[in-house]
Amino acid sequence: MQTEHEKQIFKNKVIALIPHMRGFAKSMCGHGHEAEDIAQDALANAWGGRDSFTPGTNLKAWLFTIVRNAYYSRARRVWRTTSLDPEVAERTLVANENPTATLELDEMRRALAQLPPVQREALILIGAGGFSYQEVGAMCGVAVGTVKSRVSRARDQLALIFAEGSFGRDEVAPGAAMSSIMADVEIYRAARCA
């Protein structure tokens, strides 16, 4: 445990090295505002861990290690939460490379409607709902192998429907295909989890 005098000496030495910490952080990330955040995180970590610093050793090297660790921690967090670039989002949402995609999805929706109910439910929960085979098995009260079998048979049946081109017709607009399929996911999930 440091005395008040030792804490003050440590604090003064750290304050003198803050510009170096900022410079090192900027050299790692290249962005002024991000470097400032990294340096502040490192400064808080250094102050919180001041008892682990061994007096007489290189304080600058110790602080730079903390800055480097703060940079890597931030990079890991940012990697998991990267936001979408607005320009990329705009191009993605506006430009559709496949103008028939809406019609194809509607054909899939109509083909799904022709499947036996248990196969349709399993395939929609797995394919559109994103649930695992284990989760669907638990929801439906059946073994995982049963779910896999239902999905496999549903896929085979869909391939046959598409090969024959026998999608049938209904009153749902093609543009509503995705919302219709996702509504089915919610209906199946709610019915099984009620």
DSSP the chain: ---HHHHHHHHHHHHHHHHHHHHHHHHHH--HHHHHHHHHHHHHHHHHTGGGS-TTS-HHHHHHHHHHHHHHHHHHHHHHTPPPPHHHHHHHHH--S-TTHHHHHHHHHHHHTTS-HHHHHHHIIIIIT---HHHHHHHHTS-HHHHHHHHHHHHHHHHHHHHHT-----SS-GGGHHHHHHHHHHHHHHHHH-
Both 70 and 114 in one domain: the answer is no
- Using pLDDT thresholds of 50, 70 and 90, give the confidence band for residue 94: very low
Please tell me the pTM assigned to this model.
0.49
Both 70 and 112 in one domain: the answer is no
Tell me what the mean pLDDT of segment 115-143 comes to: 89
Both 49 and 110 in one domain: the answer is no
Tell me what the mean pLDDT of segment 100-127 comes to: 88
Residue 88 resides in a domain: no
